[in-house]
Structure 1
Amino acid sequence: MAFPGVLLHEQAREYYWEGQGNVSLKSFYAGRALYTLGQGYYAVDDTCYLLVNQDQPYTIAIEAEQPVESLCVFFEPGFLEDAQRGLVTPMKTLLDEPTWPLDRKLHFFERTHTRDPQIASALARLRLTSSDHEFVSIDLAEAMYDLAVSLLQVHMNVYKEMEALPAARSATREELYRRLYLAREYMHAFFDRPLEITELATVANLSPTHFLRTFKQVFQRTPHQYLIGVRLERAQHLLLHTDRQVTDICFSLGFESLGSFSWLFRQRLGCSPSAYRQAKKVILEKHAASSL
């Protein structure tokens, strides 16, 4: 099995690039990168990944104090389509027609996705194997196929999400989904600054009232509640993985006061930020000791 793509595994504190290429998956460790695709902004960090469609122009920017590790997978044209055919086509047809013309390209929705266990595992395998100078290409090819299957499952689940949108026509649901996710990605990219409903509605190209109503229907939270959730999730990460002071974390995430940050954190997590940091570190230390 030939390796069906290109794997880029690098580290950098500062980086900028613009261009286009094959369908690709973007993932990062120990930091984040900001992408622009068309009218959208997409922040990619340790918790998520981004799929970029073939021939889609984009830019990437990294500005960090510490090196950010990137793991980007570029798929050969036709590989994902062939993997999908293997998943949905009857076995007899696959036996009778082992190859087929690529008359239709897959198009992925431009949005970030949380790394589910299957995708996280496939990425970890690619990351480990690519760091091994003695790797065999078949190992990478198999890991690439496992990743492709997981990505295709996520792709199919996106269509299931769209079916629940409040619109009669499929094309209307797809367009509404795309616009709402433009706003959602914008919130993830710029969560640390004040955001207004009118600004988010403009990003989604919807009226403020239509945006408010449909955003809550899709994400089960108001835009304000969603933004607070994003900030608190980031706070958890910083409390566990950095030594930054709680006050510094609070204001870096866009909270207006330490009191409101601590109250919201306690409401969501059941304890103060300082207590959360201490409790989690004790658990991690015990786990590390038991694994020795």
Structure 2
Amino acid sequence: MSNRNKNDYSPILHEKSAEYYWKGTGALSIKTFSGGRAMYQAGHGHFAVEEGRYLLLNQGQEYSISIEADLPVESFCVFFPEGFVPEVGRSLTMPVNTLLDEPFRTDNGQIDFVMRTYEILPELSCVLQQMRLDSMQQLHDEARLEEQLYALASVLIGEHLQVRRDIAELPSIKASTRQELYRRLYTGYEYILAYYKQPISVSEVAEAACLSTNHFLRSFKQLFGATPYQIIKEKRLQEAEWLLRHTDLPVTEICFEVGFHSQGSFSTSFARRFGDSPSAYRHEE
């Protein structure tokens, strides 16, 4: 993977690497990976970016990325020119008469996206897949790429508006307090996604979110509809189910690999979640 700078700007970074580390700042960007995961640290947050999700980083955000894998991990990252996404946001949210009266007005501000991982929705996936294919085939068409960037930016604006609606539902008198609480709760959530395979406590996650344990527990369940422990357990079971379907690892090894400490509790939890014991589930597959 190569570093990027303002004198060598490209909207796409498409590379493969089994080991990689870089630290610096960059443009507003989408980070996606396949065949493994990448670990990011940005601000106070820890982010594990896995297949099917993307990390959204704001303009000028300082961050570090590390990849440590047995096989090469494919990265596909898209970088937006400064001011590009806010301008798309203006065109999507302003009244039509305003856009007609001021067609060439530019928005010099920046959108403060919540830094977190997001699910790759079908409309985003379609554009990213086409951009990835273009990159592999070394197709360079400026008009085509510009349209693709507009399509991606439109999805990001939609996500941002949904996040604002979610923030508005949190209990607080001040909007700024709701926004800060949302960011801290997601910092805790991302910490769980990054380290769920390891022994982690609720108090540890709350500390990562810079919240008291009681405040964190109460607010976390309201936002996510589940407790931190339930999220941790679900992630471990999902990972175990994937390993059973895609690898030949022994059930006992899978049990400890995903973070369970007892094969008995693993088998019981797996059966409740998927309707069969791990061994029976593998045979049925």
TM-score with structure 2 length normalisation?
Answer: 0.92
2:127 equivalent among 122, 125, 141: 122
> 1:107 corresponds to which residue?
112
> 1:288 corresponds to which residue?
none
CA distance in 2, matches of 1:152, 1:276: 41
The two structures, once aligned, show a CA RMSD in angstroms of: 1.7
One-letter amino acid of the counterpart of residue 260, structure 1: S
TM-score with structure 1 length normalisation?
Answer: 0.90
> 1:226 corresponds to which residue?
231
| Contact 1:5–1:75, Cα closer than 8 Å, also in 2 | no
CA distance in 2, matches of 1:127, 1:81: 24
Q: How many Å apart are 1:278 and its aligned residue?
A: 4.2
| Contact 1:129–1:140, Cα closer than 8 Å, also in 2 | no
- Residues 205 and 133 of structure 1, relative CA distance in 2, 3 Å threshold: closer
2:19 equivalent among 2, 6, 14: 14
2:77 equivalent among 72, 83, 90: 72
CA distance in 2, matches of 1:164, 1:272: 39
> 2:155 corresponds to which residue?
150
Count of equivalent residues: 277
Given the alignment of the two structures, is residue 57 of structure 1 paired with residue 94 of structure 2, yes or no? no
- Residues 274 and 100 of structure 1, relative CA distance in 2, 3 Å threshold: farther
> Structure 1: 5+ residue runs without aligned partners?
281-292
> 2:103 corresponds to which residue?
98
Q: How does 1:132-147 map to 2 (within 5 A)?
A: 132-147=137-152
> 1:31 corresponds to which residue?
36
> 2:5 corresponds to which residue?
none
SS at match of 1:149: helix
> 2:46 corresponds to which residue?
41
Runs of 4 or more above 6 Å deviation = none
2:222 equivalent among 217, 222, 240: 217
Identity level (%) = 45
> 1:175 corresponds to which residue?
180
Q: Could you give the per-residue CA deviations for residues 161-215 of structure 1, whole angstroms, max 9, x where no partner exists? A: 1112122211111111111111111111111111112211211121111111111
One-letter amino acid of the counterpart of residue 245, structure 1: P
Moved more, 18-27 or 143-152: 143-152
Q: How many Å apart are 1:135 and its aligned residue?
A: 4.8
- Residues 95 and 48 of structure 1, relative CA distance in 2, 3 Å threshold: same
> Structure 2: 5+ residue runs without aligned partners?
1-8
- Residues 130 and 279 of structure 1, relative CA distance in 2, 3 Å threshold: farther
